[in-house]
Structure 1
Amino acid sequence: MKRFCSLFWLAVLAFPSIAFSQESKEPIVILISLDGFRYDYVERFQPENLTRFIADGVAAESMMPSFPSKTFPNHYTIATGLKPEHHGIVDNSFYDPAKDLTYAIGKAEIVQDGTWYGGTPLWVLAEQNNMVAASYFFVGSEADVQGVLPSYYHEYDGRVSNLTRIAGVFKWLELPEAERPSLITLYFSDMDDVGHRYGPNNDEQLSARLTKLDHELGALFEGLKSYDLDINVIVVSDHGMMNVPADHYLNLTELTKDIPARVVNNGALAHVYLEDQKDKEKVIKELKKSDMPIHITDVDDKENYQDLMYKDRIGDILIIPDRYYYLAWETTLTRLKDNMDRLDTDKFGEHGFSPAYKDVHAIFYANGPAFKSGLEIETFQNVHVYPLICKILGLPIPNNIDGKLEVLEPILR
């Protein structure tokens, strides 16, 4: 508790006008993403500030990610109200034959190129409707989607501390009314980092990291109360996390060594881009001969993607490991073994699997004057967050999105 108080007062001291009244009462939405925060962490660990935040607001049993349950497709789904096959960021990495380029989250020049991104992200919609938007990290927010960027944004840098990010939010709220953002996005990677490294069942490591994150969120929540502004906070995550034992990593190099195709691997899903479409049946038949615990599917069967708007990016064939298994290149397998020996663990945490598995379900919590208090709701799909935020801010809801306002509208006052 002492640490929590000190964090709050540090914020107040850094921004002394935080305690003064502000003139505007137009609604503000702060959308916070806690990457990799599994649906059951709050119940398991009872973090003080998040628990209080939920008690006074709205909490979903869980939020179902879109397929695949990876970081970039799901953040951008939350931002656009579109499923990955409709907004184009179909995985953390994928090949685009038209561009003859591979999208990968570590390639800044590609991540910041707005031509990769479909749909209309919330910050673009806000700016198009004469509303100021700001982002302290969120997938797509540093790309000029439709030629538009948020009025204030930062290029992603994971070394920036959480408190620096929170201080950035306070700075934006201190701006004069005409310059102050009505939409702010904020991103923290803590639970994804610790979940990958130790797995989602390592209570000691998870609890320690969550306690620190919760103190920092507490500083944000308390600081926001000091503004005389209509601030609504929505806390989400992109996906949960699943334990993968050491002997459940599958050698994708061996599996695909004789396949005439480009293969882009994301662990829970490998995209196969054939050199010749005539080879499809033969390649599927060959892959199915493997005794690995995998599922091979023709993308045209629409088993995982219901609409093939970005079919070329998805590939021709999908290789999907069974639950609790993960695909890895041979070079990666060696590195994984070294990491397991160094960390003295026999399992890691992974995601990307089908949303049918609750392990990969995410969170949705909301608190503020727009929301009812003490309300628990059932699991829903993450595409529905977008129209909810549009409604609060008075933004027009695009007709072509997958999200539906009627799903979450009942949580509003």
Structure 2
Amino acid sequence: MRLFLGLLFTVLIAGCSNTSPNAEQREPHLLLISVDGYRYDYNAIHQPPFLSQFEQQAAVIEKMAPSFPTKTFPNHLTLVTGLLPENHGIVSNGFHNPALGEDYFLSRAEAVTNGDFYSGIPLWSLAAEQGMKSGTYFWPGSEAKIAGHRPTYYTAYNHVEDFQIRIDQIVEWFELPQGERPQFATLYFHEVDSMGHYHGATSEQARDALHKVDAAVAQLVERLNALADTQNMDLNIIITSDHGMKDLAKLDRVFMDEVMAQEPGLSERLRLIGTGPVTQIYAQGEDKAADLARMIELFQDIPNIEIYKREDIPMRLLFKGHVAIGDAIILTNESYLDNAERPTTLMGNHGFETAAVPEMNTLLMGVGPAFESGARIESADNIHVYSLMAEILGLSIDHKIDGELAPLAPLLAQ
């Protein structure tokens, strides 16, 4: 089996290479695959056969640091905008935007599809501005019109979508004739993240989920490489993620509702959104300053807990410059913020600071003619991936972003 996989992978990588005598006429294509919750060391822990082979041959960021908070929607938007969450506006998986007077939650379709929540220029919008088509098969933000555009082709999110349907659609997009097919496409898998949450990062269930994704990606890459020459494509593939996963079993719980019960009525005047590593606090009483001051007083001496008004959030987080960030936040890297009335049943979670909790790191692996096979970068921030992808596709970035190409340039073919 190992020999077969090795030979198969050699064929697949060859398909991503640029060997045609007419290579100079080929158009660059990029497929961005996100395996949600794919921790940087999962290949070593869970040993998915194809992805482990892919890593050996790829250009790799061994530990790619997500932006704070290390949550799904903020970091998927960071990957495709080059902006920190405080600048692209999706500051968590759930929050309140007082400027819009609206809540944003993953389950709230009218919010997820509302372009007013989003800032920046996603890569599919940048592509559209420069005459390039795109396709997204599940990507946070792709169902909203942002910067005047949606992807050329996109699908509404379906949490139980069959893997084969996803793979077939990506292949169909790349089978389109030149001028109609997307040069930039995305694909998303949530299953590894879900099993990490429910059963823990090192669980058998997380392993099984990763192996299922592994088989799907192997099939997809094989089929796409068969198209590369017939469709005159320079095919590049990036496999990455939004964040890692930390097991929770050894973390002490801090029950926020019990702490707040020391001040009668406070829980009615302060709205808390989020549990786990970070909670955002939105003041809604008549004396907001007094309520926030009392909240800080209640929490500031609890071990392993930090609480700040928005204007006092430490610069290390790069998380204070947007109105949708709470009037105050509570955060922890060594405990878990919970509610006694509705305690969590999760075995794993994310959202912690990457610098304090290395399990939040993910990785990035790139294969194709744009990449230097075997190149390694030990660590880098995910804000730079946007510039890398734009460079591969030949897109110009003329607007302000937080990332830049230079930190990831060593991954590119010399």
**1:369 is the counterpart of 2:369:** yes
* 8 Å contact from structure 1 (residues 295, 322) kept in 2: no
* 8 Å contact from structure 2 (residues 37, 241) kept in 1: yes
**1:63 is the counterpart of 2:67:** no
In structure 2, the CA distance between the partners of 1:305 and 1:247, relative to structure 1 (3 Å rule), is closer
Report what 1:302 is aligned to.
Answer: 313
Report what 2:342 is aligned to.
Answer: 332
Report what 1:243 is aligned to.
Answer: 247
| SS in structure 2 at match of 1:226 | helix
Report what 1:278 is aligned to.
Answer: 289
**1:265 is the counterpart of 2:274:** yes
Aligned residues: 382
In structure 2, the CA distance between the partners of 1:353 and 1:398, relative to structure 1 (3 Å rule), is farther
Report what 1:321 is aligned to.
Answer: 332
After superposition, give the CA deviation of every residue in 1:220-254 in whole Å (9 maximum; x if it has no partner).
Answer: 11112101121100111000001112873432222
How far apart are the structure 1 equivalents of 2:252 and 2:31? 39
**1:50 is the counterpart of 2:55:** no
Report what 2:215 is aligned to.
Answer: 215
Question: Identity over aligned residues, as a percent?
Answer: 38
After superposition, give the CA deviation of every residue in 1:87-146 in whole Å (9 maximum; x if it has no partner).
Answer: 110111111112222111110110010110011000111111111010001111111112
| SS in structure 2 at match of 1:392 | helix
After superposition, give the CA deviation of every residue in 1:309-344 in whole Å (9 maximum; x if it has no partner).
Answer: 31x211121111342x322334431x62xxxxxxxx
How far apart are the structure 2 equivalents of 1:48 and 1:283? 50
Report what 1:405 is aligned to.
Answer: 405
After superposition, give the CA deviation of every residue in 1:186-239 in whole Å (9 maximum; x if it has no partner).
Answer: 00012101101111122x223222222111111011112101121100111000
After superposition, give the CA deviation of every residue in 1:261-297 in whole Å (9 maximum; x if it has no partner).
Answer: 22112421111122344323333123325x4642212
Structure 1 portions without partners, runs of 5+: 9-21, 337-346
Report what 2:235 is aligned to.
Answer: 231
Moved more, 394-403 or 71-80: 394-403
* 8 Å contact from structure 2 (residues 135, 151) kept in 1: yes
Please report the RMSD computed on the Cα atoms of aligned residues, expressed in angstroms: 2.2
Report what 1:348 is aligned to.
Answer: 347
Q: Which consecutive aligned stretches of 4+ in structure 1 deviate over 4 angstroms post-superposition?
A: none
How far apart are the structure 2 equivalents of 1:49 and 1:380? 24
| SS in structure 1 at match of 2:121 | coil
How far apart are the structure 2 equivalents of 1:389 and 1:400? 16
Report what 1:358 is aligned to.
Answer: 358
The residue identity in structure 2 corresponding to 1:317 is: A
In structure 2, the CA distance between the partners of 1:308 and 1:318, relative to structure 1 (3 Å rule), is closer
How far apart are the structure 1 equivalents of 2:298 and 2:84? 31
Moved more, 247-256 or 156-165: 247-256
How far apart are the structure 2 equivalents of 1:76 and 1:266? 21
How far apart are the structure 2 equivalents of 1:224 and 1:177? 15
Report what 1:133 is aligned to.
Answer: 134
Moved more, 44-53 or 218-227: 44-53
* 8 Å contact from structure 1 (residues 233, 368) kept in 2: yes
How far apart are the structure 2 equivalents of 1:129 and 1:55? 34
**1:76 is the counterpart of 2:80:** no
How far apart are the structure 1 equivalents of 2:225 and 2:348? 36
| SS in structure 1 at match of 2:132 | coil
In structure 2, the CA distance between the partners of 1:328 and 1:53, relative to structure 1 (3 Å rule), is same
* 8 Å contact from structure 1 (residues 93, 266) kept in 2: no
Report what 2:17 is aligned to.
Answer: none
In structure 2, the CA distance between the partners of 1:329 and 1:78, relative to structure 1 (3 Å rule), is same
| SS in structure 1 at match of 2:140 | coil
* 8 Å contact from structure 2 (residues 49, 214) kept in 1: yes
How far apart are the structure 1 equivalents of 2:293 and 2:29? 53
Report what 1:25 is aligned to.
Answer: 26
Moved more, 48-57 or 214-223: 48-57
Instruction: Give the superposition deviation at 1:56.
Output: 2.0
The residue identity in structure 2 corresponding to 1:193 is: S
